[in-house]
Structure 1
């Protein structure tokens, strides 16, 4: 289905949602607004990296923020995500979005596989690779850009991705990423603390925003939920039953220069 983002974001944009994972991404980025801190910090003319762009929802929002003078680099290797990402960029005429159909990793030119799909797709080095890797340093150099803001959600490859981003990290001022385990956390913070970043953990899921959006736009939410077989309603109810308990990982963390 096609969803109008204006009621939820104030931005005159639309998005195509085809699979259950697309709806999950929609609820995280648009309804729960998990990147609100990052989006509120984007300025006109900024270069923003969307690593793990999925179907492009964050890229759409960032595109309207940076406007014509800025650029959004949307990195997405998973073929099904990539297809819808391209459709959403074309649908909204986003000429300031550059799509990179590769996996972000520690070195460019490797061949890796994508396991799973949608929001849960992740990089695997097992078997004969079908997807080529790249690094933020290569992307920044090839496009002659100095990114100021980085959003990263790449399902466990965040440590390796930063190892291939040393020259780019020195230009970054604000990062928000989902970190998936202790090993990645150690790699990530080893690099970022070297560049004088500080960190702040944020809620990976804030159901209060879901409630607010439902109160403001009940008909729109119900229409979307019906198309998604009320999956999010079930998840919210389950979360309430479990008392809102979450596991130790993944963690949503904002890194910023003090």
Structure 2
């Protein structure tokens, strides 16, 4: 074990420039130095690195697989939503990050909207909130406002569970196996309309929702906000997550259609050394591409 750590330490300065450039087979290079396994990676101290596409720094727990991917490639592993946000956000916009996790999308949006814009980050996991605040403070992001709550269709106190596989991911949905639960938190959830109705809003607005299956309840609590501001909505759509929370993909589609929105599934096309955003129109749950997990929703009357 100690020998492996020494080898990894020696190889990292050679491997990181390659993986952070996302050159061909960068994932194999990450695996070469043990990046694909948790063993031997320390949880403390947090490691600082620059976040791709921004001038900001992030502080990462390398014992967490998801954060380790960020360390190796310089960005959040879920590429499609980031490319979508980079395409739709402009200086002065309002961005609402629902399910902000440790704030990586928040940082990307803060750079895109700039000091004249505003970012509202909602995250009920106290460990994640602590990290978001660290990122906001260390990077001097006065345009970011952190709210340590979840969003739903009614005010309540709910149990947020964290399962094996990540130190920061959590869900309000019942865990499939109690043996996988590593932590529980009693956290507040609020109606988004109540919180955003009192907040200064610059238009246009973009809302991102990634709440591990709780998307339908979150959307029901945002009806007035959606009607008033007609935001672009970027929502995760994963059938398994929705089912755990008692919802379905069809229910989410019905909600968005009821708001007067049309959707495009987010896909990625790689051409040469560059990734490009590819939007696939979807009208029903059955038309979702099998590999798609995110949908970009826009008002039907928007050009």
TM-score tier by shorter-chain length is: 0.7 to 0.9
Aligned to 1:200: 264
Q: Is 1:158 paired with 2:203? A: no
Distance 1:31 1:158 in 2: 21
Tell me by how many angstroms 1:70 deviates: 1.2
Bigger-Rg structure (1/2): 2
Aligned to 1:130: 186
CA RMSD of aligned residues (A): 2.8
Structure 2: stretches of 5+ with no match in the other structure: 1-46, 176-183, 275-288
Q: Which of 152, 156, 175 lines up with 2:233 in the alignment?
A: 175
Tell me by how many angstroms 1:23 deviates: 3.2
Distance 2:225 2:237 in 1: 19
Once the two structures are superposed, what CA deviation does each residue of 1:150-176 show, in whole Å capped at 9, x if it has no partner? Answer: 111110100000111110112133111
Tell me by how many angstroms 1:50 deviates: 0.5
More helix by share: 1
Q: Is 1:20 paired with 2:84? A: no
Q: Structure 1 length as normaliser, TM-score?
A: 0.74
Distance 1:44 1:76 in 2: 24
The SS at the match of 1:44 is coil
Aligned to 1:227: none
Aligned to 1:226: none
Structure 1 residues 129 and 88: alpha-carbon distance in aligned structure 2, compared to 1, 3 A threshold: closer
Q: After the TM superposition, which residues 58-77 of structure 1 pair with which residues of structure 2 at under 5 Å, given as runs? A: 58-77=105-124
Structure 1: stretches of 5+ with no match in the other structure: 214-246
Relative contact order: is structure 1 or structure 2 higher (C-alpha 8 Å, sep ≥ 6)? Answer: 1
Structure 1 residues 70 and 131: alpha-carbon distance in aligned structure 2, compared to 1, 3 A threshold: same
Q: Structure 2 length as normaliser, TM-score?
A: 0.64
Q: How many residues align?
A: 217
Distance 2:195 2:93 in 1: 16
